[in-house]
Amino acid sequence: MIKYIRQVHENRLDLIAAGTNAIATASMLKAGAQKGASGESALIRTVKKVDVIIGPVSITWANAILGEVTSMMAEAIMDSPAVKILLPLHQENVALMDFSTEPLPHLALAIAEKKLMEVLNHV
């Protein structure tokens, strides 16, 4: 996602990588995020200050992503005043109905090119 946002918007947006673990955060920093935060406390603190949160829908579910999303993380994300752009991706035993079947790169590019600016223009 960060790669596509950087590709479309270059350095016009301040991107913060808030990962559930250090490996996830490092990957997002490598893709072009300017700042990174890892783990429950950092994520909870960071989501209070951002305009937009982008991630898989499962970041809003306690115990999702093989247990990496804690209930406090999911609650903080949903309580954040930020607009949430959620991708229909998950590893849980859940079936989501009426979502796009486009591959992740197509969804990421659509968010970077269209949806993100729509959201930012209304923040």
- At residue 94, the pLDDT reads 80
The predicted model gives 16-45 an average pLDDT of: 95
The length of the chain in residues reads: 123
**Residue-level pLDDT at 107:** 87
How confident is the model over 41-62, as pLDDT tens digits? 999 999 999 999 999 999 999 9
Strand pairing report for 35-38 and 52-56: unpaired
DSSP-derived letter for residue 60 is G
The topology under which CATH files domain 2-117 is Rossmann fold (3.40.50)
Domain boundaries, the chain: 2-117
What is the chain's alpha carbon radius of gyration, rounded to the nearest angstrom? 14
Rounded Cα gap, residues 113 and 118, in angstroms: 9
- pLDDT for the residue 100: 72
Predicted pLDDT at 33: 96
- What pLDDT score does 98 carry? 64
DSSP state of 53: E
For residue 24, pLDDT beyond 80:
yes
Cα separation, 67 vs 49, whole angstroms: 25
Share of the chain above pLDDT 90, in %: 67
Residue 73 is predicted with a pLDDT of: 97
Q: Is 14 left (phi over 0), alpha (psi -120 to 50) or beta?
A: beta
pLDDT in the model for residue 32: 96
Between CA 77 and CA 15 the distance in angstroms is 16
Closest C-alpha to 60, from 35, 94, 26: 94
Query: pLDDT tens-digit profile of 81-112?
Result: 999 999 887 777 887 766 677 888 888 898 88
